[in-house]
């Protein structure tokens, strides 16, 4: 649900995610929230109760759009992309990817009338501690993260399990040809052919990088 349906599929229409869309591995339906406005200007927003800057998306208009979406996909969890939401994690992405899809609500202006969120018990998800102009790009982020996990979308299934966050660690560093570049060499162990040693080295690197860059992730893992 969006007031800017022309933003979709947008970046989701290219590369592996776009090919999977063409093949029908996943599907996307956009609902134009303006179709649920009840005035000839198709306006969806109004001034905030209590005053203050900006405009707020109306509960009645958005509520009708939400109810239409629920009728189409009663099984899909309802998600409002919102900077106040729970931070999106790879484990929530995995759950959504394994589930019955998702119904995503994209805000604009100052956001939604709170009553829609309360009355329809909408889950709020944030893509990070910063403020976007609207929920559409956040929805694309969520969709892309989920779709790449669907079977057959990314060729090599192993590449999905070895990644950052999958085991509570950031990923180890990667190298490829040439062997030497800008006076920098590929670490010898990676050229040794010793798979056990390579795996150990990668694991140590992953631990080191996680400890240094994301002490929060590291502490969670120790628990
Ligand atoms: N006044 C709001 C920000 C509104 S931004 C506040 O201070 O919290 C307009 C819309 O952009 C929001 O309704 C939401 O749908 C989307 N948005 C902005 N930042 C986001 C984020 N970090 N994650 C997910 N959605 C976001």
pLDDT digits (tens, 9 = 90+) for 82-137: 999 999 999 999 999 999 999 999 999 999 999 999 999 999 999 999 999 999 99
pLDDT digits (tens, 9 = 90+) for 2-19: 999 999 999 999 999 999
**Residue to probe by mutation, ligand 1, list 78, 103, 126, 135, most atoms within 8 Å of CB:** 135
User: How remote is the CA of residue 109 from the centroid of ligand 1, in Å?
Assistant: 8
Q: Which atom of ligand 1 is nearest to the CA of 112?
A: 13
Domains of the chain with CATH codes: 5-147 (3.40.1280.10), 162-222 (1.10.1270.20)
Cβ of 134 below 6 Å from ligand 1: yes
Distances (CA, A) of 208 to 54, 173, 187, 203, 223: 45, 11, 16, 9, 17
User: How remote is the CA of residue 81 from the centroid of ligand 1, in Å?
Assistant: 7
Q: Which atom of ligand 1 is nearest to the CA of 129?
A: 22
């Amino acid at each position: 649900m969006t007031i800017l349906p022309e933003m979709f599929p947008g970046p989701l229409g290219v590369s592996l995610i776009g090919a999977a869309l063409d093949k029908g591995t996943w599907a996307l339906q956009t609902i134009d929230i303006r179709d649920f406005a009840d005035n000839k200007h198709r306006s969806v927003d109004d001034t905030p109760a209590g005053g203050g800057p900006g405009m707020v998306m109306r509960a009645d208009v958005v509520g009708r759009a939400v109810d239409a979406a629920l009728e189409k996909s009663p099984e899909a969890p309802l998600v409002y992309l919102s900077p106040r939401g729970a931070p999106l994690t790879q484990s929530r992405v995995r759950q959504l990817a394994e589930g019955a899809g998702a119904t995503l609500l994209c805000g604009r202006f100052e956001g939604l009338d709170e009553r829609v969120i309360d009355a329809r018990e909408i889950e709020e998800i944030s893509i990070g501690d910063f403020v976007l102009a609207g929920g559409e790009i956040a929805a694309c982020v969520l969709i892309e993260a989920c779709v790449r996990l669907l079977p057959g979308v990314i060729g090599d299934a192993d590449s999905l399990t070895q990644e950052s966050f999958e085991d509570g660690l950031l990923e180890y560093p990667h190298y490829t040809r040439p062997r030497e570049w800008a006076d920098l060499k590929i670490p010898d162990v990676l050229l040794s052919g010793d798979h056990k040693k390579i795996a150990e080295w990668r694991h140590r690197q992953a631990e080191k990088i996680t400890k240094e860059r994301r002490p929060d992730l590291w502490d969670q893992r120790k628990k």
